[in-house]
Amino acid sequence: MSFDLGKLFIEWRRIVPNGVPNPGNAYHLVLLKEICMAKGIDRNVIDNVILTLEKKDIDPDTPIKYKYKDAAGNETDRETTYKNAINKKDKEHPAYKAAKALQDTGGEDDEVEKKPPMEIPENPYEKTDDDTKNNDDSGKGAETKEEPKSKQELQKVDKERVNSALNMTKTEARAQAKSKEKKNVGAGTAESRAGEAMVHRGLQMIKENKSLEDIEKFFTDLVNQKDHVLNTKKGKEWVGSALASLNAINDEIGWDEVDDIAWDTDEGRESIGVDTKLETSSDMFVRTKDGRNIGVSLKKDSKVFLNNGGWMEQSTLLLDDLKEVMPDDIHEELSEAMSYENFQVDRANRFKEAFANYTPEQILELANSLTKEEIAKESLDGSKVSYLQFLKNPKKHLEKIQRGGLGLDRGDGPVMKGFHRLLKLRDEEGDKKVRESDNVLTQKTFDA
């Protein structure tokens, strides 16, 4: 399957305690496995990768106990970590000797305290053989597990929470503030949540083909309702902020590119595949039609911040973090495997292979055969960019593809999207070839 490796590393960096993923740390590997399972990556692939990573040497955080004698000859029990002990310059230090003794036994030493194995939660979306077995005649069988909610059910709950926040009254807000029950309604005040909900609802209305004028009138009427939480001078400022935020999202992403919208709730995150435990400053998320999840941080001053870091940016951050804790030769090998430039070349070659047997006339014929429904499904004729223009004038673009140059220059993105979306609609094998570039990058990175 195809997925965004950049986002995988973003999530791994954010979820580990110190922000620096360590393949030698068992807990970090548990977190990596959880992320991969949540993304729907094949269980066998995950297990093989984790198994490979677990073959590293001793966990650097393994406790090392040793006896220490001070200058007066008094002996005390002390403890450090394997990493600190093995890095000591004094080879005669008792901590270093204890670490070496552990190393010599391959990590098995009764004198060294072991951390209990961590239980890895099962993927709630992966069915096992036990799930399909009926209880036996004696009435004894597997415990009934709660079925995971469908995407539609999760989105329904998320939208209900958005509507609740959007229509919140001052009376309800006061009651909610006093309640000790878990709210799961997003962070901030009732007023800020109502403002955030405006942007969420505004995007929904745009998807329903409502104009900005319609949306502005809807919001203005709303905040002027008696007892509405935003029926104050300051509260009404959220109308202008919400409209400015919608315009900013259009400028950065494009309304036509938005596939799903989710608020920052457990159900909203789960519905589009964002880890519910992931710490982020995002107030809402949008999932684009090309499969990206983008966090949106909304501010009353109309500033909008998008967590949209791509592989190039995130791999650079990760490699910078690892430089201090990784030998130079290994860091160089990993940098080569994660190279965005190498990825671009591989992707260009896969486009070349996918379109090797096409002529400009055939591309034009395929483009003209697309139905209105297919064009709308893949947003090929959006208000911001019309990808059809490249498909209906294909000669120079196809020539660039067939010499292995597409995607190597700035500005090639729209052409790549147009030709790839044509493959998605008309050539399943070609689509698979292009998508495989993501998997190759993943494999090379894990191999390194």
Computed over its alpha carbons, how large is the radius of gyration of the chain?
27
Min mean pLDDT across 54-68, 82-96, 349-363 is at: 54-68
Residue with tokens 């195809």: 2
**pLDDT band (50, 70, 90) for residue 43:** confident
Which pLDDT value is given to residue 6? 66
**Chain segment 354-388, per-residue pLDDT in tens:** 999 999 999 999 999 999 888 888 888 876 678 89
Beta strands in 273-405 (DSSP E): 284-288, 293-298, 304-307
Q: How confident is residue 117, by pLDDT bands cut at 50, 70 and 90?
A: very low
Identify the CA nearest to 416 among candidates 424, 425, 407: 407
Tens digits of residue pLDDT in 283-324: 778 888 777 777 776 665 544 444 544 556 667 767 777 777
Cβ within 8 Å of residue 1, ≥6 positions away: 40, 41, 42, 439
Q: At 425, phi and psi to the nearest 5?
A: -90, -25
Name the token pair of 296.
Answer: 């949106």
**pLDDT confidence bin for 146, thresholds 50/70/90:** low
